[in-house]
Amino acid sequence: MTNGPFSNPDLWPTAITAFDADDILIRGRNVVDLMETGDFGSVAFLLLTGRQPTQGEAAVWNAIMIASSDHGPTSPSTFAARVIASGNRRAPEAAVGGGILAIGDAHGGAGEEAMVFLQEGLALARKPGGTLRLAAEEIVSNYRSTGRRMAGLGHRFHVVDPRTERLWSLSQSFGLSEDGIALMREIAAVLTETVGRPMPVNVDGAIAAALIDMGLAPPIARMVFILGRAAGISAHVLEELAREKPMRLRFDFRYDGPVVEPNSDTRKEEA
């Protein structure tokens, strides 16, 4: 692939994919070879990072996507997709797309935020006199002083998120458990002591720490969540279309706005 439009310096450059009449390259590797020897998770890792994962990284990465794949119909992305599918029966792609669009800072973005404060904490711990414990205390103090909820800790449904330790033990088994996971444990301990109730690391925090120890950048956390959750969203859309009637989602609500009496505005104007 040395000739053709991909070598024209005036065209839009990309380091991700190239193709001609005979071949398709992903990050310089022939897609046919990747189809024969790879798995989707490893190819996704290659696309996002520009390098192929080690055996351990591939295992942890795939575990992250599995852990992110679904958490029932109550999560914002899945719920949104169900609502769209309930009203739009002929375009399941719209429901899937709408579900993905419901992913954001509050749902699916916690891992990225946690990776940012883990990076900051590790920088503090590596300064002269710094320790992981001191870094954790400073991070928790900063969040508490501004009244912000810490990303990656606590869960609406689980007292202990069952995915956390399994993911971290997998990281450890491949020699990938380093200071990121250790710092997240310290943060959970400090926060628990500070608020006086258990604040365990949830799957977002577990993913963030594992990705930090793999040397990846914070935006990757949101992308790997989207990759995993797209499968669950798709399954819920198909189930909604197959099992439920159109427009079946109805909700009780209460009105708390103003009540304007008939002709009241007119009387005021006349007065």
Q: What confidence tens digit (pLDDT) does each residue in 156-206 have?
A: 666 788 999 999 999 999 999 999 999 999 999 999 999 999 999 999 999
- For residue 51, being part of any structural domain is answered with no
pTM for this prediction: 0.89
- For residue 23, being part of any structural domain is answered with no
- For residue 26, being part of any structural domain is answered with no
- For residue 250, being part of any structural domain is answered with no
Q: Residue 107: which domain range?
A: 69-245
- For residue 253, being part of any structural domain is answered with no
The residue among 147 and 7 whose pLDDT is bigger is: 147
Average pLDDT over the chain reads 92
Q: Does the structure show a pLDDT above 80 at 264?
A: no
- The predicted pLDDT at position 69 comes to 97
- For residue 171, being part of any structural domain is answered with yes
Q: Does the structure show a pLDDT above 60 at 1?
A: no
- Band of the pLDDT at 3, cuts 50, 70, 90? low
- For residue 8, being part of any structural domain is answered with no
Q: Which of 12-16, 21-25, 209-213, 247-251 has the lowest mean pLDDT?
A: 247-251
β-bridge partners, 30: 25
- The predicted pLDDT at position 208 comes to 97
Q: For residue 189, with 0-12 CB atoms within 10 Å meaning exposed, 13-18 middle and 19 or more buried, which class applies?
A: middle
Q: What CATH code is carried by the domain that includes residue 196?
A: 1.10.230.10
- For residue 142, being part of any structural domain is answered with yes
First to last CA, the chain: 82
Q: Does the structure show a pLDDT above 80 at 120?
A: yes
- The predicted pLDDT at position 156 comes to 67
- SS3 percent helix, strand, coil of the chain, rounded to 5, is 60, 5, 35
Q: Does the structure show a pLDDT above 70 at 4?
A: no
- Per residue in 9-31, pLDDT tens? 788 889 999 998 899 999 999 99
Percentage above 90 pLDDT, the chain: 80
Are 16 and 8 in contact by the 8 Å Cβ rule? The answer is no
* Domain count along the chain: 1
- The predicted pLDDT at position 249 comes to 82
